Structure 1
């Protein structure tokens, strides 16, 4: 348990929560749109077929020049990476805020120490349930006796599906291009899972924030 839990809880700030919720939800939706754009480019690559020269990575450290479609996929992939980083920053700021608000509203320490707001996403094994647990704990502290919204589990289920797809498709952009030429089923499944998780995540952010705002209004 972190030392910060020993201090008196800070007053909940509904305006800051709402601002961060809008920022996180918007970033999630942009990330989902970017992932759908990536899926479209993968379909275009698959439809075009692999060039006669073979995949971009020729093996032995040799790479052939990319064609225009492959170059554009590199650009789409880079934009997706930037959006993902911005989304992660916005979401973590929101998550930290709702956790602090939940503590102030309930008057009890959160179930998970503050460090897990960040490490919970990257530490193996615990990343399979800690982030969802932090959200669920914040919601239950903000709306005691109210059932956890279904959208929380939908978001987390889709996120785990996208995470698994990403693990199975590790590699650089050229290797992803080669997979798109040979078969895009797993690529599209992962893209759609992440896009769905982004949309569900945006709804989840607004739902949890609304519960805290309503509790503050009653208080």
Structure 2
């Protein structure tokens, strides 16, 4: 069943949502770049004579000014990451709904997986990418999947499987201690997160553009759909 000529009111405002998702990804990438700069500063300053902030057995020494500022940087970065996640999921929901309206087919993945697909073990290795790919192919049948989608997902998986980047398992004080003693792995992880965010921005832009092109081609002659794009 082809519903490519579905009324404009059936389509969700994916273009604006895509722009917001791109902005969120770039802000998150910037936040992690700043985090990397602070970790370089910690490495250059060297560990204080008093030792790491977390001294074990529940004992924490007072933080110096650089360590306090790193806590602030990570807190801001965490807030921007949450904002990025909200904007990305909003875009993905709209993309999925528009793809269903355009193709008339039932999406391959249930709507709940738009959220749970990121956190349920094992399926989180491919469900989120699969949702994006399914929506793209329903929106632009016959077109080649943008390479940025695979680059973004590959970089995301590196972070997921190695426990680096935005999925750090260590506390902030533990990361400070690592910055003093093993700075380069942290900086490499930060670079991967920044690269994943940038690739994600390109992926969102490319997938959104393909769907918007199809929506504009499918609109009835003489109608205006700018408001829903």
TM-score by length of 2: 0.88
Does 2:124 correspond to 1:110?
A: no
C-alpha separation between the residues in 2 aligned to 1:169 and 1:102? 34
Does 2:185 correspond to 1:160?
A: no
Residue 144 of structure 1 corresponds to: 141
Residue 210 of structure 1 corresponds to: 209
Does 2:32 correspond to 1:72?
A: no
C-alpha separation between the residues in 1 aligned to 2:169 and 2:188? 15
Residue 171 of structure 1 corresponds to: 170
Matches within 5 A, 1:1-219: 11-13=10-12, 16-166=13-163, 169-219=168-218
Shift in Å, 1:217: 1.5
C-alpha separation between the residues in 2 aligned to 1:40 and 1:100? 40
Residue 225 of structure 2 corresponds to: none
Shift in Å, 1:169: 4.3
C-alpha separation between the residues in 1 aligned to 2:198 and 2:175? 24
Count of residues paired in the alignment:
210
- Unaligned ranges ≥5, structure 2: 1-5, 219-229
Shift in Å, 1:165: 4.0
Q: Deviations over 1:170-190 (max 9, x none)?
A: 111000000000112221122
Shift in Å, 1:144: 0.3
Q: Deviations over 1:71-90 (max 9, x none)?
A: 00000000011001111001
Residue 3 of structure 2 corresponds to: none
SS at match of 1:216: helix
- CA RMSD in angstroms comes to 1.6
Shift in Å, 1:158: 1.0
